A and B are shown apart, each in its own frame.
Chain A
């Protein structure tokens, strides 16, 4: 692929990822509010996202994505027009479609086009097309109860008509807001009015008013569904040119009181909008007749109440409008293609399925089990607020000024080379360098900030995953995530997604019990899985917890023994905490039945290693019957860290300061041996002791005292003996990368400014080795 082509592709992937993220968030919100009525604005948002994805992928010639986006858009269009109810099946299909999109985008970014995925995409498209159940039966077309000019109704788009119908059905107070603006600034005035109206309810339609707005003016009629009372609405529109007029809605025919009244009071002929109370029955009665006719033709008397809503979208629409408003023939625009779609509609009736019942429902045939996909982003881009960038540019500008000053000083000193430099000159020079230092620090800080992204980015993706895992595992799970706003380096957030995914899988698969088991133990039916992030100083603490059965340490001991991971004498001395930590050993898995989700025995040790690569550590807490929690401690950034520079046998190493707890000076006779391993006595506690020179097989030098750098992560402590301390410095760690990734105990290298490469110690790995030695010798 050409340079240009790959750049364009990267842009496409970045933009499509963003759309999918937004789509995912909206779907998640819909999912959380399963039992409630879906927010029309949200469905509209998803529809627009699918539409933009279609456009975008079409532009880049991504045929498969375009096709699927088209199918999804089609389905969403039916949804937002109310031809389809948002039931669990539809929602599941949409979530699965999102997964497919993600896989497609993954292949696109790698420049592949796999046969499997193409087939899956086809199947998905068909599934979306087949999708659909008739909207819940409504007793009559609520729109018929609304007093509205036929001409006005004629110009509604299908979507507007649908929204209006919904509002009438729910008994929302409808208003016509008429406002006249001057032609010169009507767009602004209208936007202003809309902004005012938005919090008060829903603007259903904006139409040019029939009333002339004067020679230089234009008037609009806004059909508005108010959530607030009339006085509140009036107060809210104070100061705008809006005039309010209520739209009359007749009570539903099925309303018993209304029916009684209708039977007793002969209705007057009243059509058209206007204030005042118009008795209701005439139109209602007429309506009954209207409805009965097509129904009798279609469904027969056995089904007297076919949903009027459904009818309006299909072939009923013309007949209904023509009879309801004589002389009106205009069919709303989007009705084209309605009838064929109507035939496709015919799925099972909607049922209220929870996660649990959805789980028991078989997955649609033809869809392969979703493969293990990584949650990592496909792009390496970070969105940066333009304000932050401006700040950085300003700083660079100031640095240039300082550079100019320094240049001037250098020039001056060159010219008066032979003359002794004045004291004033020295002062000026040191002032400039101080300035330079300050600005560089600010620049560094600003750049680090630009790398920060909220962990919520990953939490959102995980929330979607929970839904799928719970369904596959047949568990009822409530997923609660907090602290999504905590910011971490983009790199860390990316690397974090897979370990977190694994922990959550474990929590659902191993931790949470099935609903029946929970009920019998007196717990609520639904298990809770929590994901929490909080900032603690230089670190971010992330925890994944569940309120499930907890870890059985007796089983852990048994398994560890049977797999030969530990010996029985070791186990007998272990505390409960140490026993629990055995689950991080490679090749450990307690589940006797291996499930598809986890339990392949490559779980937690991989998680632990991944975290180690991020200079993070993992700790476990668990109580029988109460639950399990994994605590992850991570540095905020890896880009620039403060490090302690130490010397061993003439070599220099850097130790990240965020894991250094304290530094001790130790005489050789302070070192004791316990069962032939060296330890230190630190304020009454035994501290494992590691000579770095010995560990690294360096020639040992005789020293009369050691410096011991006490490092710690979570509860683990280790004293690392070095020969010299050189001080602290900010370092930028470069990973050893590809060929050297297997090197143990070293996380990367850095340059201390003297062009000499210095290795950075990997404290997590050294701790691991120190503890492992301890375990081996114990």
Chain B
């Protein structure tokens, strides 16, 4: 890309570009501004799994906690890492990497042979229809606000045997894979 092309590219407005300051500045100067402002952004919690960045709607997240001692459940499905005791509440903790094909074998994080969890790892406690459930994430990236126009629905069966990817969000150059918690945690 030549320097001229880059300049030209920067000149054009892209729908996922954050130009709110510019729009505020331009309010009233033409009929376009108010319509764009009406688009309500949704807040997502972004987190990392392996090298990829994922996000879930922040309203489905009950809390985020450090990885406690996990107790493995014998003869359970492989994506069930174990159970944790969160202030007296018993919560199952799941691994979604298997389902997303990010890894081949479930990590050994529960039981006597498990090592210390990585410092950045967290458990997201998600609200689901079958009650709260914990999801192991490698690190939490933060909260992102995505407008509907920044989200493209993913073609069905993008990856995994289930359609647990609800869509792709794009903000600037960062790509967020939007996870559907119900599908990702379905047995």
Give the interface of A toward B (CB within 8 A). 649-651, 695-699, 734-740, 742-746, 748-749, 751, 755-759
Report which of B71, B75, B131 forms a contact with A756, defined as CB distance below 8 A: B71
Contact A749 B90 (CB under 8 A): yes
The yes or no answer to B84 lying at the interface (CB within 8 A) is yes
With both chains docked as a complex, state the minimum distance between the C-beta of B136 and any C-beta of chain A, in angstroms.
Answer: 15
The yes or no answer to B161 lying at the interface (CB within 8 A) is no
Contact B90 A650 (CB under 8 A): no
Contact B74 A737 (CB under 8 A): no
The yes or no answer to B113 lying at the interface (CB within 8 A) is yes
The yes or no answer to B133 lying at the interface (CB within 8 A) is yes
With both chains docked as a complex, state the minimum distance between the C-beta of A639 and any C-beta of chain B, in angstroms.
Answer: 14
The yes or no answer to B125 lying at the interface (CB within 8 A) is no
22 residue pairs from A and B, CB less than 8 Å apart: A649-B112, A695-B74, A697-B74, A699-B113, A736-B92, A737-B90, A739-B128, A739-B131, A739-B133, A740-B73, A743-B75, A744-B75, A745-B74, A745-B75, A748-B90, A751-B85, A755-B69, A755-B85, A757-B83, A758-B71, A759-B71, A759-B73
A418 to B85, CA, bound (A): 38
Contact A749 B112 (CB under 8 A): no
Collect the chain B residues with CB atoms within 8 Å of residue A697's CB: 74-75
Contact A757 B85 (CB under 8 A): yes
Contact A757 B131 (CB under 8 A): no
Contact B111 A749 (CB under 8 A): no
Collect the chain B residues with CB atoms within 8 Å of residue A742's CB: 187
Contact A749 B71 (CB under 8 A): yes
Report which of A696, A739, A755 forms a contact with B75, defined as CB distance below 8 A: A696
Report which of A649, A739, A757 forms a contact with B71, defined as CB distance below 8 A: A757
The 7 closest A-B pairs by CB, nearest first: A696-B74, A650-B112, A738-B131, A757-B71, A757-B85, A738-B130, A734-B90
Q: Report the nearest B residue to A754, measured CB to CB.
A: B69
Contact B113 A650 (CB under 8 A): yes
Most buried by B among A649, A651, A699, A748: A651
A756 to B85, CA, bound (A): 8
With both chains docked as a complex, state the minimum distance between the C-beta of B88 and any C-beta of chain A, in angstroms.
Answer: 8
Dominant secondary structure of chain B at its interface with chain A:
loop
Q: Report the nearest B residue to A759, measured CB to CB.
A: B71
A696 to B72, CA, bound (A): 11
Collect the chain A residues with CB atoms within 8 Å of residue B84's CB: 757
A744 to B74, CA, bound (A): 9
Most buried by A among B68, B72, B75: B75
A758 to B69, CA, bound (A): 11
Chain B, interface size category, equals: 20 to 34
With both chains docked as a complex, state the minimum distance between the C-beta of A736 and any C-beta of chain B, in angstroms.
Answer: 7
Q: Report the nearest B residue to A735, measured CB to CB.
A: B90
Contact B75 A740 (CB under 8 A): no
Collect the chain A residues with CB atoms within 8 Å of residue B73's CB: 736, 740, 743, 746, 759
Report which of A739, A743, A745, A746 forms a contact with B130, defined as CB distance below 8 A: A739
With both chains docked as a complex, state the minimum distance between the C-beta of A757 and any C-beta of chain B, in angstroms.
Answer: 4
With both chains docked as a complex, state the minimum distance between the C-beta of A271 and any C-beta of chain B, in angstroms.
Answer: 79
Collect the chain A residues with CB atoms within 8 Å of residue B69's CB: 755-757
The yes or no answer to B76 lying at the interface (CB within 8 A) is yes
A756 to B72, CA, bound (A): 11
Contact A757 B90 (CB under 8 A): yes
Report which of A737, A743, A744 forms a contact with B131, defined as CB distance below 8 A: A737
A649 to B113, CA, bound (A): 10
With both chains docked as a complex, state the minimum distance between the C-beta of B57 and any C-beta of chain A, in angstroms.
Answer: 20
Given contact pairs A739-B92, A749-B71, A759-B74, a sample of 12 additional A-B residue pairs in the complex whose CB atoms are under 8 Å apart: A651-B111, A698-B74, A738-B130, A738-B131, A739-B187, A743-B75, A743-B76, A749-B90, A751-B88, A756-B69, A756-B85, A757-B83
A651 to B114, CA, bound (A): 12
Q: Report the nearest A residue to B128, measured CB to CB.
A: A739
Which residues in window 49-88 of B have CB below 8 A to A? 68-69, 71-76, 80, 83-85, 88
Which residues in window 83-134 of B have CB below 8 A to A? 83-85, 88, 90, 92, 111-113, 128, 130-131, 133
Contact A651 B112 (CB under 8 A): yes
Report which of A650, A651, A696, A749 forms a contact with B83, defined as CB distance below 8 A: A749
With both chains docked as a complex, state the minimum distance between the C-beta of B27 and any C-beta of chain A, in angstroms.
Answer: 40
With both chains docked as a complex, state the minimum distance between the C-beta of B45 and any C-beta of chain A, in angstroms.
Answer: 21
With both chains docked as a complex, state the minimum distance between the C-beta of B110 and any C-beta of chain A, in angstroms.
Answer: 10
Collect the chain B residues with CB atoms within 8 Å of residue A744's CB: 75
With both chains docked as a complex, state the minimum distance between the C-beta of A180 and any C-beta of chain B, in angstroms.
Answer: 66
With both chains docked as a complex, state the minimum distance between the C-beta of A293 and any C-beta of chain B, in angstroms.
Answer: 76
With both chains docked as a complex, state the minimum distance between the C-beta of B171 and any C-beta of chain A, in angstroms.
Answer: 32
Collect the chain B residues with CB atoms within 8 Å of residue A734's CB: 88, 90
With both chains docked as a complex, state the minimum distance between the C-beta of A122 and any C-beta of chain B, in angstroms.
Answer: 36
A774 to B84, CA, bound (A): 34
Most buried by A among B74, B88, B90, B130: B74
Contact A740 B83 (CB under 8 A): yes
With both chains docked as a complex, state the minimum distance between the C-beta of B40 and any C-beta of chain A, in angstroms.
Answer: 26
Collect the chain B residues with CB atoms within 8 Å of residue A739's CB: 92, 128, 130-131, 133, 185, 187
Q: Report the nearest A residue to B131, measured CB to CB.
A: A738
With both chains docked as a complex, state the minimum distance between the C-beta of A447 and any C-beta of chain B, in angstroms.
Answer: 16
A699 to B114, CA, bound (A): 13
Contact A746 B74 (CB under 8 A): yes
Contact B133 A651 (CB under 8 A): no
Given A651-B111, A755-B69, A736:B90 Cβ within 8 A: yes
A748 to B71, CA, bound (A): 12
Contact A736 B72 (CB under 8 A): no
Contact A650 B111 (CB under 8 A): yes
Q: Report the nearest B residue to A751, measured CB to CB.
A: B85
With both chains docked as a complex, state the minimum distance between the C-beta of B71 and any C-beta of chain A, in angstroms.
Answer: 4
A687 to B144, CA, bound (A): 62
Collect the chain A residues with CB atoms within 8 Å of residue B76's CB: 740, 743
Collect the chain B residues with CB atoms within 8 Å of residue A649's CB: 112
With both chains docked as a complex, state the minimum distance between the C-beta of B153 and any C-beta of chain A, in angstroms.
Answer: 27
With both chains docked as a complex, state the minimum distance between the C-beta of A650 and any C-beta of chain B, in angstroms.
Answer: 3
A651 to B73, CA, bound (A): 11
A736 to B73, CA, bound (A): 10
Collect the chain A residues with CB atoms within 8 Å of residue B68's CB: 755
With both chains docked as a complex, state the minimum distance between the C-beta of A200 and any C-beta of chain B, in angstroms.
Answer: 59
Collect the chain A residues with CB atoms within 8 Å of residue B74's CB: 695-698, 745-746, 759
With both chains docked as a complex, state the minimum distance between the C-beta of B15 and any C-beta of chain A, in angstroms.
Answer: 38
With both chains docked as a complex, state the minimum distance between the C-beta of A398 and any C-beta of chain B, in angstroms.
Answer: 24
Collect the chain B residues with CB atoms within 8 Å of residue A695's CB: 74
Most buried by B among A696, A734, A757, A759: A757
Collect the chain A residues with CB atoms within 8 Å of residue B187's CB: 739, 742
